[in-house]
Amino acid sequence: MKKIVILTGAGISAESGISTFRDSDGLWENYRVEEVASIEGWYANPKLMLDFYNERRRQVEKVQPNAAHKALALLEQKYDVTVITQNIDNLHERGGSSKVIHLHGEITKAQSTGDPFWTRDIGYNDLHIGDCDDHGYQLRPFIVWFGEAVPEIERAAKITTSADILIIIGTSLAVYPAAGLMNYAPQNCVKYLIDPKAVPAGGIAHLNIIREKAGKGVPELVDKLMNE
Ligand code: NAD
């Protein structure tokens, strides 16, 4: 079975109604990115961070996977597919994908501030100041913020080295180390990039650029790959 590795960013969830980072001038839902997506932001104002991610969690509960998420799941009928996402939403899983690596965490989980490897499913429930793990450490959202290590990056890089086909969707390729993953794909791997804007992927051999929104470009590419 051929292996497909799919790297997705905020753009794949845009048509579900979740806004991206860079399309709003470095603001995320009207907050400065550093304020709500960095470890310094957490130390400065944990309540603001909890409230912000409580809001994001409620939003994820309300939205639905779109045609792009659903189309990617169909590829599993013919290919060995791994989705590596920078997104913290759960729309790939709800769209039917079975192997999803979240590089930047998951909004439906909490993490202990005393032990980064302690995580727990919280579904769509809010987190508050005073919510603690069994050892009394404050809980925080399970999100990899700027300034923190990306524990899943090695697993993701290893899987990418065995890709026959790499599909990059809806990412500005501005956030490292995620943006560097495509460099792990083998030379002869067939690569596609779907994004309505030009993104900086220069120097990558055999890159097929599809300048479309994910809701149109992904189902079309999936159709082609299912008929190859
Ligand atoms: P980004 O905001 O930097 O870039 C978004 C990209 O998506 C842009 O290149 C844009 O042209 C493209 N795009 C916009 N609409 C699209 C559409 N309909 N179809 C396809 N592409 C479209 O996002 P990023 O590269 O993922 O990096 C920012 C970080 O933001 C990530 O680490 C992620 O964790 C976080 N984030 C996540 C979510 C989410 O979970 N849904 C939402 C916002 C931000």
- Predicted confidence at residue 26, as pLDDT, reads 60
- Residue identifier of the C-alpha nearest atom 16 of ligand 1: 11
pLDDT band for position 174 (cuts 50, 70, 90): confident
Sign of the CA dihedral with 38 first, then 32, 169, and 211 last = negative
- Predicted confidence at residue 81, as pLDDT, reads 98
15 lines ligand 1 (CB under 6 A): yes
- Predicted confidence at residue 19, as pLDDT, reads 86
Find the mean pLDDT for residues 1-28: 88
Rounded to two decimals, what is the model's pTM? 0.95
Find the mean pLDDT for residues 133-140: 97
What phi and psi values does residue 78 have, to the nearest 5 degrees?
A: -125, -20
| Span from the CA of 8 to the centroid of ligand 1 (angstroms) | 8
Measured from the Cβ of residue 1, the count of other Cβ atoms closer than 10 Å reads: 9
Closest of 11, 193, 171 to residue 91, by C-alpha: 11
**All domains of the chain, ordered by start, with CATH?**
1-17+64-104+150-228 (3.40.50.1220), 19-62+108-143 (3.30.1600.10)
- Predicted confidence at residue 21, as pLDDT, reads 78
Mean pLDDT estimate for the chain: 94
Q: How many CA atoms lie within 13 A of 2 on its CB side?
A: 11
199 lines ligand 1 (CB under 6 A): yes
pLDDT band for position 24 (cuts 50, 70, 90): low
For residue 197, which atom of ligand 1 is closest to its CA?
11
29 lines ligand 1 (CB under 6 A): no
- Predicted confidence at residue 28, as pLDDT, reads 74
User: What confidence tens digit (pLDDT) does each residue in 34-81 have?
Assistant: 889 999 999 999 999 999 999 999 999 999 999 999 999 999 999 999
Give residue 180's Cα distance to chain centre. Answer: 14
pLDDT band for position 128 (cuts 50, 70, 90): very high
Find the mean pLDDT for residues 91-107: 98
| Span from the CA of 170 to the centroid of ligand 1 (angstroms) | 6
User: What confidence tens digit (pLDDT) does each residue in 211-221 have?
Assistant: 999 999 999 99
9 lines ligand 1 (CB under 6 A): yes
